Structure 1
Amino acid sequence: MEMLFHLKNLKAIVEGEHLMPVQEFEENVAHPTLVNGDDVDDWKMRDCYARFLIFNSCDEVRKLALLNSRTCHEMWTRLETQYLQRAADNKHMLHRDFLNLRPTPSQDIMIHITALESMTTELNDLGVNITEHDLITTIMCSLPARFGFLSFSWDNVPNNERTMDTLRARTVSEQRRIDVRVEEERSHTPSHGAESNTLQAFGSQRGSFSCGFRGGRSRSNGPPRDSINRDNVKCTYCGKPRHYEFECRKRIEDQGEKQPSLPKRSNNDGEGSGSQRRVDFSLISVCCLSAVELDAIVLDSGATRHMSGERSFFTELSGISPGSWPINCIGGKLPHAVGMGTIKLTTSVNGANVNGELKNALYVPGLGVTLISIACLSISGYAVFFSGLNAIVEGDNTIIMTAL
């Protein structure tokens, strides 16, 4: 209503600042005439228009309470008195609703933020001091899980930039990114059996990361044996269809029920006997390897090493004896590492490029993707956080990589 009063230039009359002009008559004449009649008529017309707006904006109950009002100022004063009395009685309930308000699943997040801002204004009018910091904290605590990346990135915003304007801009940007990702997931529904226990970060080795979540489970928490799709599978050990090498009965019978133990590999990657057999693991599945692009970069919770099947990604590379370093994969695939070196990466975080290196990464021809080992990141002092479909890698409290 106040916006409408400003638009129609009625605010001064409604608030009682502009009263009806006192009637002035000509003196020393036989028949006095009104001097300021035009001003009086104009005020009455504007007052009548304001009363019309106020009256028609009220429900039937409030209209009855306004029938005896003579001016728009009287109407407005009665409504303000009723509102303030009712609001004061329910002040604690309004404060409770402010703290507990949560967006509905289908609600636009900006509508939710606007509702909290309106409640902040009401509470401040009632004498409850809600600062901008209190409002921002309430908004951040009420965001749904899909805005987990915004919550993590907000911690890296300088204190002097943590304002409502900044939060609105970041929220709109995050909502737009979520909408794009949801639309892409709808148009690229994964086929049956294409799930694996990795967080896939699709993107070029030199560019920014975008990704889809595929879990993050250990090998023992993989899909049940009966749920594995074997329609187009052929064992690489016996050559028969409908089973994998790791479950091949002939292989188990030939090798015995207990798998032969392998010598423990030295922790020093550059030393050790040349005849010592090294083994590393990659819990990425065969079906995943066929489903992603060759230049895909994947955060793998099961990989024991950084590794890549793309030779051009390595800036430094030293050779490894052929056949001495196998990589165990789900589904019976058993590629071998033929080199170890350094991969340089450039990631994009909040529009800024971040340069980094993957040291002691294995070169595994035929692997199909580049795997970033979460275990190796953790050993190197980096922290990996998961929120919904997002993953964030931090070093020294700074985000250095995101997987979406």
Structure 2
Amino acid sequence: MDNSPSRDGLRAKTVQFNGNNFESWKFSVNIALRSHNLVPVVDGSLKRPIELKQDNTVTNQADINKWDKDDNLALGYLFNTCSEEQQNSLLTCDTAHSVWNSLTSRYQQNTVERRQSLQQDFLNYRFKPEHTVRYHIEAIKLLVQQFKDAGGLADDDGTCNKIITSLPPSYNNFLTAWESSPILERTLANLVTRLDREESRKHNCNGGELSADDKAYFGFPSTSTRAGRSIPPTYQRPENRPSPYPKTGRGRGRGGRNDRFAASNGRPRTTTRCTFCNIIGHNEETCRHKNSGAVRCSYCNIVGHDEKVCYRKTQDGEKASVAEPQIDSENHNSAYAAGLPSSGSRSSTDFFLDSGATQHITDQKWLLKNLRTFPLGSRWIGGIGQTKVDVLGEGDMDVLTSVNGLTKSRTIHGLLYAPNIGINLISVGAITNNGADIHLTGSQALVVRNGAIEMTAERVGRTLYLLNISVVTNDVASIARPIESSIQEWHQRLAHISYRTIIKMAESGAVDGLNLQPGTQPPLARCHECAVGKMKRLVFLTSSTPKSTRIGSLIHSDVCGPMQVSSIGGALYYVLFQDDSSGFRVVRFIKQKSEVAACLKDFVSLLHAQTGQLVSVLRSDNGGEYENHELQAWLRKKGIRHETSVRHTPQQNGVSERDK
């Protein structure tokens, strides 16, 4: 039986290349090529076999025929996914590899101009109010990946700095917590995970509404009142979004900017909704859109523009074009997860069909039975943004499927347990490898085995299918019974008030449910938390050490940053060096804290060249930028003594702290 990929197998819905969307087209093409093992043929790593003859007979004719067939299949796919304008420039190409080289040489050039343009886009990128944090992170990672593809150098530290410095003001508390975490834990993967959790908490608290600080940051006017009634804030329409209202003149009308919300007599206008344009404030008989012959968009069904300039279609296309990374197929202890849908309205038992996942994945441990655990770090999943999510086990799951009114019990085997994946995915590849077929329609997906439908899935988005399955679990009932709490527990519940006060409250019945055993006395053991809370720090005395008399005998140094907004050159920090004797200061702007060592060496050389003096003592805090092995070895070589302040005690480095 021939298992080679057919031409129909590559006719999946992919992005068409029009000359302006190379990155999204390249990613879409790679998915289809990898699924049919055609990547080596396209990138040129698998050459056409040379004919081997023996007795005038070609001994490897089967290999040559297979290569020709794969090349023809890949060539047709690359050619057919290009627009007509791009196809005209590929008519001279005879192999898939030549087509690929022709396109990449024109649209993915490793030129200085392209790197400068991408770097400028990276520095100027800002958080947009209509985007989620996950979309914001993926957009920055895509810019970084494009910069690397163009021959530029970028690391995770720069990506993390860009992400945290471009967040709106409502994330300032998160930024403070992130800076206080250990340096070794400030990885890109941890940042993405913590930002996802922070966004989820913010969404649960404010229902998705922007805070007052964020509205001011994005330029949204706050809600005000006039004449005892509320006036909605003016919506800031994006530049490329066409207005649904036809332009009838240069003025704004009698009502000014809020003409739709207020009439000239001070009373609210009618709330009638037009049945033609679906806009409140008029009826179909007086509708300006209908009378002016305005067109209706076939994509969003809004009157006033056509599909070619539809803002919603553009936004959906941008979200769909966020690239996802490839993963090393030689690592047998890895799996791959494709795009993750938004978690706004999902349940913990919802499972989605995913054509990009290589195995079934879930983040719910309680759904699994026969769980086999794995050591931490032994297996992982590669997902969006080149992140790795640890896999901690593998098990089976019992489900109920309903097809045409008939309910059956089935078991899904081989589900990976990844607690940080944030989604439940059923792999299309794993299903087909098990002998079943997937049939996709406009609104439904069917899992078919031997002509019989086993499972169905309903389309819930533009590319997502939600499986119609119910998870079977063992129901557990719990019975609550009242218990009497000790005086120590009440002491903790009531914010560590006095034990005698608690006894008086119990005796007088001041608090419902506060019941103590008769004759209860304050415990002899002291409360540790109370003792710690009453501690206070002694006052720092003014230093009596005389000022240095020789230039270079004592140098104070400290680092300030990261700043909320990077400089034009991309700097987020600055490092300060101050001579104790003369008060001479030098400030260097840096992008990363790792540049402090080089700045210190330059300062020591500058001081020696201009004054002839050598540095004897360097005084700084206990920051990692000063305590690294390379800098400490250099200080010992130069004979410079390094004095550090006690942890969390900036008063001991007051000279530098006051200058910041």
Q: TM-score, normalised by structure 2?
A: 0.28
Q: Which one has the largest radius of gyration?
A: 1
Q: TM-score, normalised by structure 1?
A: 0.45
